[in-house]
């Protein structure tokens, strides 16, 4: 489909349906375990109709990942160098945890891509993700040097926030099963626990 032609309402609706279906399928089965037939069936469209909008499974996957990267980096972008250091880091942690609550499929899509060696988004990881992480790690290091928060490895601090918050999306069934209630909402207690954990870690 030519990207220079304006899309009709139906075309926009079908693209959204395809991408939403693909997010379901990819987040459940990973890229390798997913097929165009699965995506077409989930979207309610025929496979030929799907191929009118996207030429391949990889094209759909790349579009999803491209859209996800901005969403993924927004909380880190919002970390304010002029704000209160502990409050900024805790706010970042809360936003990442909220993303795990509201965007679990996106979290699993990202995790699956990384586990495969990031073949379709290595450029973004080496570029905007690393550049932004370097920038914010330098801010955190500056706060530590100034004695505003306790000393810790700034990169590993960010890694721990990523892993501890995204765990609740990527291992949702395990979390709920171990807690003993598949219908329970683990996020309120998770937020309280992580706030306590990082507050203690950062207190001088």
Residue 100: CATH number of its domain: 1.10.357.10
Helix, strand, coil fractions of the chain, as percent rounded to 5: 75, 0, 25
For residue 22, give the nearest of 7, 12, 33 by alpha carbon. 33
Are the C-beta atoms of 85 and 143 separated by less than 8 Å? yes
CATH number at residue 5: 1.10.10.60
Q: How many CB atoms lie within 10 A of CB 174?
A: 11
| Residue 126 sits in the same domain as residue 28 | no
Mean of all residue pLDDT scores within the chain: 94
Considering only CA atoms, give the Rg of the chain. Answer: 20
| Residue 28 sits in the same domain as residue 107 | no
Q: What total number of domains does the chain contain?
A: 2
CA dihedral sign, ordered 137, 198, 109, 105: negative
Which residues, in sequence order, are CB contacts of 58 under 8 Å at separation 6+?
A: 31, 120
Q: Does 197 score more than 90 pLDDT?
A: yes
Summarised one tens digit per residue, pLDDT across range 88-110 is 999 999 999 999 999 999 999 99
Q: What is the mean pLDDT of residues 128-138?
A: 97
Q: What share of the chain has pLDDT > 70, as a percent?
A: 97
Within a domain: 60 = no
Q: Does 111 score more than 70 pLDDT?
A: yes
**Separation in Å, CA 193 to CA 97, 100, 101, 124, 177:** 12, 15, 15, 32, 19
| Residue 127 sits in the same domain as residue 183 | yes
Within a domain: 74 = yes
Q: Does 6 score more than 90 pLDDT?
A: no
Q: What is the mean pLDDT of residues 69-87?
A: 95
Q: Does 5 score more than 70 pLDDT?
A: no
Q: Does 4 score more than 60 pLDDT?
A: no
Q: Does 154 score more than 90 pLDDT?
A: yes
Q: What is the pLDDT of residue 2?
A: 46
Q: What is the pLDDT of residue 43?
A: 96
Give residue 3's pLDDT band: very low, low, confident or very high (50, 70, 90): low
Q: What is the mean pLDDT of residues 113-136?
A: 93
Structural domain harbouring 1: 1-55
DSSP H or E stretch at residue 140: helix 130-145
Summarised one tens digit per residue, pLDDT across range 168-192 is 999 999 999 999 988 889 999 999 9
Summarised one tens digit per residue, pLDDT across range 29-76 is 999 999 999 999 999 999 999 999 999 999 999 999 988 888 899 999
Q: What's the 3-state SS for 67-101?
A: HHHHHHHHHHHCCCCCCCHHHHHHHHHHHHHHHHH
């Amino acid at each position: 489909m030519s990207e220079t032609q304006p899309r009709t309402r139906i075309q926009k609706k079908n693209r959204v349906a395809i991408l939403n279906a693909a997010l379901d399928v990819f987040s459940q089965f990973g890229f390798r375990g997913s097929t165009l037939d699965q995506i077409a069936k989930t979207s309610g469209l025929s496979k030929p109709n799907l191929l009118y909008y996207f030429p391949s499974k990889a094209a759909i996957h790349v579009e999803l990942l491209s859209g996800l990267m901005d969403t993924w980096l927004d909380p880190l972008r919002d970390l304010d160098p002029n704000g209160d250091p502990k409050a900024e880091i805790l706010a970042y942690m809360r936003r990442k945890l909220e993303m795990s609550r509201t965007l679990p499929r996106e979290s699993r899509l990202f995790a699956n891509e990384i586990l495969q060696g990031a073949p379709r988004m290595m450029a973004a990881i080496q570029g905007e993700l690393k550049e932004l992480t370097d920038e914010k790690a330098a801010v955190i290091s500056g706060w530590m040097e100034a004695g505003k928060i306790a000393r810790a490895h700034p990169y590993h601090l960010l890694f721990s926030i990523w892993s501890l918050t995204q765990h609740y999306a990527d291992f949702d069934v395990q979390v709920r099963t171990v807690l003993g209630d598949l219908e329970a909402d683990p996020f309120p207690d998770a937020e309280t626990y992580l706030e306590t954990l990082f507050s203690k870690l950062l207190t001088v």
